[in-house]
Amino acid sequence: MARQRGDLRRILSSTPLLRSFAFRRCFYLSWLIAFSVLFIYQRFKFTGYTFKRVVRPIPRLRPHVFNLTEFGGVADGKTLNTEAFKRAVDVISRLGKDGGGQLNVAEGVWLTAPFNLTSHMTLFLAEDAVILGVEDESLWELMPALPSYGRGRELPGPRYGSLIHGQYLQDLVITGHNGTIDGQGEIWWKKHRRKELKYTRGRLIQLMWSKDVEISHITLRNSPFWTLHPFNCSNVTVRGLTIINPVNAPNTDGINPDSCRDMLIENCYISVGDDSVAIKSGWDQYGIDYGRPSANICIRNCTVHSPISAGVSIGSEMSGGVTNVSVENLLVWGSRRGVRIKTTPGRGGYITNVRYRNLTLENVRVGIVIKTDYGDHPDENFDIHALPVVENISFDGVYGRDVRIPVRIYGSPEVPVKGLEIKNMNVGVTRKKKHIFQCSFLQGRVIGKIYPQPCEELDRYDSDGLESSKASSSA
Residue of 346, 202, 351, 220 lying closest to 276 (CA atoms): 220
> From CA 39, how far away is CA 426, in angstroms rounded?
45
Least separation in angstroms between CB 432 and ligand NAG = 25
Does residue 427 contact residue 451 with C-beta atoms inside 8 Å?
Answer: yes
CB neighbour list of residue 206: distance below 8 Å, 6 or more residues apart: 161, 162, 164, 165, 166, 229, 230, 231
Nearer to ligand NAG, 79 or 178 (CB): 178
Least separation in angstroms between CB 253 and ligand NAG = 19
Nearer to ligand NAG, 116 or 184 (CB): 116
Nearer to ligand NAG, 19 or 137 (CB): 137
Nearer to ligand NAG, 200 or 360 (CB): 360
> By three-state DSSP, how is residue 68 classified?
helix
Residue of 294, 236, 293, 231 lying closest to 263 (CA atoms): 236
> From CA 245, how far away is CA 185, in angstroms rounded?
9
Least separation in angstroms between CB 20 and ligand NAG = 43
Residues forming a β-bridge with 440: 410
Binding footprint of ligand NAG on the chain (CB under 6 A): 67, 69-70, 106, 114-116, 141, 165, 167, 178, 209-212, 214, 219, 232-235, 237, 242, 267, 269, 292-293, 295-296, 301, 323-324, 329, 331, 352-353, 358, 360, 391-392, 419
Least separation in angstroms between CB 69 and ligand NAG = 4
Nearer to ligand NAG, 60 or 193 (CB): 60
* Cis preceding linkage at 293, omega within 30: no
- Across 72-87, b (16+ Cβ under 10 Å) vs e yields ebbbeeeebbbebbeb
Q: What is the DSSP string of 379-404?
A: STT--TT---EEEEEEEEEEEEEEEE
Identified catalytic residue from 274, 275, 284, 459: 274
Least separation in angstroms between CB 450 and ligand NAG = 18
HSE, CB side, 13 Å, CA atoms: give it for residue 274: 23
Nearer to ligand NAG, 28 or 70 (CB): 70
CB neighbour list of residue 445: distance below 8 Å, 6 or more residues apart: 420, 421, 422, 458, 459, 460, 461, 471
Label the pairing between strands 101-105 and 159-160. unpaired
Least separation in angstroms between CB 34 and ligand NAG = 25
Residues forming a β-bridge with 46: 51
Q: Is 274 a catalytic residue?
A: yes
Q: Name the residues annotated as catalytic.
A: 274
